[in-house]
A and B are shown apart, each in its own frame.
Chain A
Amino acid sequence: MSNIPENLRYSKDHEWVLVDGENAAIGITDYAQSSLGDVVYIDMPRVGDKFAAHEAFGSVESVKAVSEVFIPIGGEITAVNDGLNDTPEKVNSDPYGDAWFIKIKMDNVLEADGMLSAEEYDEYLNANG
């Protein structure tokens, strides 16, 4: 049973978004970290980089695989969780808190509305997991 906090929005690529006005924090879900296994490295973008919705903004490397991470909504990177690479295991232990990957200024706040709710993500996992 994966953990799916109610206050977040979700993508089918297993990223979560925490909306805060016109800014958002983004990370990967409990389901994603569990599938990946022990995370060893996160390849981050740089502050100032701009991405359109669904573009790959980096990658997560675990002991068994490397997966790209996709930005669910378009925006400009305002912060990168640099310290995460000193303790990458936090992605496994605290995927929704300390292990946020990036913070962005959204291009279009309405794009967040189009994402899945916690309930919809849960249904999606049950149907496809």
Chain B
Amino acid sequence: MRYIPNSPEERAEMLTSIGLSNAGELFRSIPSDVQLNRKLKVTDPLAEPEVIAAMEEMAAKNTGATKPSFLGAGVYSHYSPTIVDHLIQRSEFFTSYTPYQPEISQGTLQYIFEFQTLICQLTGMEVANASMYDGSTAMAEAYLMAQRVTRRNKIIVADSVHPEYREVARTYTQHGDAEIVSVGFDEKTGRVAELNGLDDKTAAVVVQSPNFFGCIEDLTSIAEQAHPAGALLIVVVTEAISLGLLKSPGSCGADIVVGEGQSFGIPMSFGGPHVGLFATQDKFVRQMPGRLCGVAYDKNGNRGFTLTLSTREQHIRREKATSNICTNQGLIALAATIYMEAMGKKGLQEVAMQNAQKADYAANQIAAINGFEIAFSAPKFNEFVVRGPKPADEILSKLRTENGIIGGLALSKYYADRPNEFLVCVTETSTKKQIDALVNALA
């Protein structure tokens, strides 16, 4: 969609034709006591070089992600091949918007269909939507979907699910009928504990795998408990690269898989924009939120793509809509699709393997340091919790100021009763040199 500005002459002509003399008169129906009646508090117009200088000064205040960093916890440092940026910046992709008119949006619809297909393949599910805003809102939408499907209101969610995701889901559901019940985790293994409260009022059991502490959950066992009670299993995946190595949530019995696609070639960008993943089984498709692209055939038998099952959406049937979302993260989903296709099956497996191997190396080295131990015994992917001899905040602060290393995330930020623990994430972007430097600094 192009922006076509109007000249002062054109504006004057338009005003004259509707009998007005200035643009201010267009707002005369707004009571004068609520009108601003002053100029906006912005600078006077600047010349182009002055604008650039002002922007560069502001941008210089950013600290780029250049220091060696072992931060994870929902946003991950992964390498994005240059082809991703190169392709998404093509103007056909960069500026195109909503594909509501399939006759002129086949390119957009095709990549959305490819994205959905890839997500199904990786999660082991039968249908995926065109993406949500991010992993946290995708999870909140899954709660609501489970309520609709089961006609029950209780949601059991593990404390080892990302705390910010749980916070977002609380916000989403606070004025509805959902009753959110939390279950804890085993102190030794780090995995979900007893599913207390699982009964015939439970709509869903929600777990994350690998969970916030990096522990891989036994999803099959959780499914085997949830299903006989008539509850759905919602699996949350914050680290999408793990899908390149671990058994798919679908094959373990997940009914809904939600997660974050940022790991697929999307920059960390201080938290966003990222991309939410949402996949489910065919039998639930009519209760799924979000945009859905499907294959269709024209009257000559040629294949095409179109948005489908639109009666789930609020612009078609407001009161029966499955959500108020009426968009998707188009450009980000495209970037993720290019990443997945550029890496391919083998590439994704290799990246995932590197993550797991480097994390294992780092964990073993850290565990060998006097006074340090790995807090949980469950198998991990690329994150693990380290328990040290003193408050994690102190240790991490020293690492940052004296060694120039961002060592991880202090758990006390979310779990006040765990002051000496911090979450370490190791990805394919961490070098052996950086890991060894971290280990030496901790020792």
Binding site for B on A (CB under 8 A): 41, 43, 59, 61, 66
Contacts and interface: CB of A to CB of B under 8 A. Distances in A.
A66 B317 CA distance: 9
B171 interface: no
Given A61-B311, A66-B311, A43 B286 contact: yes
A38 to B, nearest CB: 14
Contacts, number: 6
Interface in B285-326: 286, 311, 317, 320
Interface string B311-350: 1000001001000000000000000000000000000000
Interface residues of B, number: 4
A41 B286 CA distance: 10
Q: Interface of chain A, helix or strand or loop or mixed?
A: strand
Contacts of A59: 320
Interface of B: 286, 311, 317, 320
A48 B106 CA distance: 45
6 contacts: A41-B286, A43-B286, A59-B320, A61-B311, A66-B311, A66-B317
Contacts of B317: 66
Closest 5 pairs between A and B when the two form their complex, measured CB to CB: A66-B311, A66-B317, A61-B311, A43-B286, A41-B286
A41 B308 CA distance: 14
B376 to A, nearest CB: 43
Contacts of A41: 286
Contacts of A43: 286
A41 B317 CA distance: 16
A62 to B, nearest CB: 11
A59 B320 CA distance: 11
Nearest to B311: A66
A43 B317 CA distance: 14
A41 to B, nearest CB: 8
Nearest to B317: A66
A61 B320 CA distance: 13
A70 to B, nearest CB: 15
A66 B312 CA distance: 11
A61 B286 CA distance: 11
B263 to A, nearest CB: 36
B34 to A, nearest CB: 42
A32 to B, nearest CB: 18
B178 to A, nearest CB: 21
Contacts of B320: 59
A59 B286 CA distance: 12
A66 B286 CA distance: 13
A116 B62 CA distance: 74
B319 to A, nearest CB: 10
Contacts of B311: 61, 66
A57 to B, nearest CB: 13
A43 B285 CA distance: 12
B304 to A, nearest CB: 15
